[in-house]
Structure 1
Amino acid sequence: METLPDIPLPPGIRSRFVDGINGLRMHVLEAGFETRGRPCVLLLHGFPELSFSWRKVMPDLAEAGYHVIAPDQRGYGRTTGWDANYDGDLASFRLLNLVRDALGLVSAFGYRSVAAVVGHDFGSSVAAWCALVRPDVFRSVALMSAPFAGPPPLPFDFADKPATRKPEDPVHRELAALPRPRKHYQWYYSTREANADMHRAPQGVHDFLRAYYHHKSADWKDNTPYPLQGWTAHELAKLPTYYVMDLASTMAQTVAAEMPSVDAIAANKWLPDHELAFYSAEYARTGFQGGLQWYRCGTSGAFTAELETFSGRSIDVPSCFISGRQDWGTYQRPGVFETMRTTACTRMLGCHLVDGAGHWVQQEQPAEVSRLLLQFLKQAAARPGL
């Protein structure tokens, strides 16, 4: 590996590599490593972030007595061993293999179980499946910014009925047919062009990420989310353009229209330019395709059948949900937030919407996220058992 620049980390966090994790050489940020025997907390980032996104909460968790591990997940940052080719091994990015990555990492550190797995954005999906599939290892789960609906259901009670094909979802055709034609970002992210659109953004990777993070944060004043009534084109078109894009636009073009002013950038305290520069340097080096492969696994439907193996299962370890009050991610899939609280998670100890935070809740409001995580860890420890 080429010599990489130092990471601008706060005191108490170290950067290291662990070889042999399900075919990966995994880059990990670690806090609370000074003494052995601590309970472990695993932190899983989302898109387009890195383990670096946890830098503000890791010291608080370590100070409270935890060994905190935050990897660059498969497809991201300084972790290597994954295929960056659009036509490469898509199956390695499917959810159950990402669970295998997480399981392998905590095992490499000598843990038979961890106090909690915490996931943000797409990392929330991985964390949820960790808790669903291996509740003996992942003893509690905190989901952040992306609620969990449970496993996909198996077709039911159809043996004595005429065979029917699963109907095609009409919503994409209907979005494109709106008076203002639109498209869903996850299906855009699944296209061959999406990586180059962002990696070679006309404004450069740094300004692309600045606008992207701004657009999905509480700093963008039009982020005033509310529940949608259903998975229909009319309802989805109410989402901001970073979720339901104009049909002819790239993501780079979409967020460029919301680029903050020079003064706003200078005033930004939660992601100052020197910290953003680390993200932009990493993505300029790696591109975005590794993270985009995760979306392709979902939109293709190729791996739904293996997830249906767990149909009817719920998350039965203690769980909580944390999101920004100004985060549309809570509601982007209509009904999922409600399903998570009623059926998908049977031991939900709290749902918290943090004011003054959009999608990047652990970066925008780290003190409150640390407080809520430590409160949850204490509650979960007091209610052990499956």
Structure 2
Amino acid sequence: MIYGVNGLDVHVLEAGYESAGRPLALLLHGFPDLAYGWRHLIPMLADAGYHVVAPDQRGFGRTTGWVNRYDTPLAPFGLLNMTRDALALVSALGYRRTAMLVGHDLGSPVAAYCALARPDVFPSLVLMSAPFPGPPAFPFDTAQSEAPAAQANNDNQTLAAALAALDPPREHYQQYLSARQANDDMWHPPQGLHAFLRAFFYVKSADWPGNKPHPLQGRTATHLAQMPTYYVMDLGKTMPETVAPFRPSDADVLSCQWLTEAELTVYTQEYERTGFQGALQAYRVFSDPELNAELRLFSGRTIDVPSLFIGGKSDWGTYSAPGALDLMTTRATTRMGAIELIDGAGHWIQQEQPVRLSQLLLAFAREAGGAHP
């Protein structure tokens, strides 16, 4: 289905809409996923009595209305505008509130700002794979300070220089994804788009035995360099070059039930058609402090609705931003119920372990006390 919201024609996958009066479950995907990434979970939640809606987010898949160029204003891809996308979709569907809001990866901060800005519409929250450390804060009690207020945050530039100075030189994946060449690198990789996507999904899953995530002591170059190269890349290598050595064997591909070749072909065909630039715009926003300045509107605010964090035990995403998990539980939220790490799941939890995920979501929805079947 296609719905017109916030200047977009939003493509959604949905189930359970045939029966009136069902509570709404809204599922927000991440990168380089699509609404299709929820395909295993959608029928499970619909069978439990929900009207389940999973949109292709702004910049992704069959949602249109955004500009597919590198040289374009990035404000439409800011977190607050993507939050408006979600709010407008709920309204367009004829709902006053969601009964379940789930955000994975890039969808996690979008979902977090939904609950932060409009708890009346989003009265419970589930974050997956990407902990939310809270909104950026204004400097406090600086009026009488002799030092001028801090200007643009240069932490990212300092970290990039420190990573480049390592032996061998490294580069954070978000810096790479923000660069002009990233779209063409991934859209037209030497091994072919299908082979690139297969390796990318595989190396970030529990199927790759090299994933042994653990908390990092700090956001320094030496600590971040402990992560696999798909997170902290060898400087000068493209993402397709980075994941190519880890492409699974033919036997591994045949045995992969959570992402069959036919299912992966859906991703291949979509990205062959669109390229990756729209999906990459949000990373450019994340890396630019000026584009994130509007988030300080929520400086000091906490998420006060019942919340849950779900990660995969084999997913580095839980720890890729050192300190974010602790900040989420101690400062950013006031009603975080649990941290659930799922066995047999890497980054693609909703594809790798949908049955266990559905159990956790349905139990949390009952405990949160909102509308549910």
Q: TM-score, normalization: structure 1?
A: 0.94
Distance 1:115 1:183 in 2: 40
Residue 302 of structure 1: how far off its partner (Å): 2.3
Aligned amino acid, residue 57 of structure 2: Q
Is it true that 1:52 corresponds to 2:40 in the alignment?
Answer: no
Structure with the greater relative contact order (CA < 8 A, sep ≥ 6): 1 or 2? 2
Partner of residue 175 from structure 1, selected from 147, 163, 185: 163
The equivalent of 1:83 in structure 2 is 67
The equivalent of 1:226 in structure 2 is 214
Is it true that 1:64 corresponds to 2:48 in the alignment?
Answer: yes
The equivalent of 1:18 in structure 2 is 3
Distance 2:328 2:161 in 1: 28
Aligned amino acid, residue 381 of structure 1: G
Residues 341-356 of structure 1 mapped to structure 2, 5 A cutoff: 341-356=329-344
Distance 2:185 2:72 in 1: 19
Aligned amino acid, residue 154 of structure 2: E
Is it true that 1:163 corresponds to 2:148 in the alignment?
Answer: yes
The equivalent of 1:38 in structure 2 is 22
Partner of residue 92 from structure 1, selected from 76, 81, 103: 76
Partner of residue 239 from structure 2, selected from 220, 230, 251: 251
Distance 2:154 2:289 in 1: 12
The equivalent of 2:280 in structure 1 is 292
Distance 1:276 1:301 in 2: 35
SS at match of 1:42: strand
Aligned amino acid, residue 209 of structure 1: L
Residue 100 of structure 1: how far off its partner (Å): 0.5
Distance 1:254 1:272 in 2: 22
Query: CA 1:253–1:222 in structure 2 vs 1: closer, same or farther (change >3 Å)?
Result: same
Residues 197-276 of structure 1 mapped to structure 2, 5 A cutoff: 197-276=185-264
Aligned amino acid, residue 279 of structure 1: Y
Q: TM-score, normalization: structure 2?
A: 0.97
Residue 89 of structure 1: how far off its partner (Å): 2.4
Identical counterparts, % of pairs: 58
SS at match of 2:11: strand
Is it true that 1:113 corresponds to 2:86 in the alignment?
Answer: no
Residue 248 of structure 1: how far off its partner (Å): 1.2
SS at match of 2:290: coil
Give a deviation string over 1:287-327, Cα, whole Å, max 9, x none. Answer: 00011000000101222221011011111011101110000
Give a deviation string over 1:130-154, Cα, whole Å, max 9, x none. Answer: 0000000011010000000010011
Q: Would the aligned equivalents of 2:194 and 2:264 in 1 still touch at CA under 8 Å?
A: yes
Give a deviation string over 1:38-58, Cα, whole Å, max 9, x none. Answer: 110100000000000111111
SS at match of 1:353: strand
Give a deviation string over 1:261-311, Cα, whole Å, max 9, x none. Answer: 111111111101100000110011000001100000010122222101101
Give a deviation string over 1:68-115, Cα, whole Å, max 9, x none. Answer: 110001000011111110011211000000000001101001011111
Is it true that 1:102 corresponds to 2:86 in the alignment?
Answer: yes
The equivalent of 1:8 in structure 2 is none
SS at match of 2:57: coil
SS at match of 1:296: helix
Aligned amino acid, residue 300 of structure 1: D
Residue 164 of structure 1: how far off its partner (Å): 5.2
Distance 2:371 2:198 in 1: 41
Q: Would the aligned equivalents of 2:99 and 2:370 in 1 still touch at CA under 8 Å?
A: no
Q: CA RMSD in A?
A: 1.2
Distance 2:261 2:290 in 1: 39
SS at match of 1:148: coil
Distance 1:383 1:338 in 2: 29
Partner of residue 112 from structure 2, selected from 114, 119, 128: 128
Distance 1:84 1:383 in 2: 38
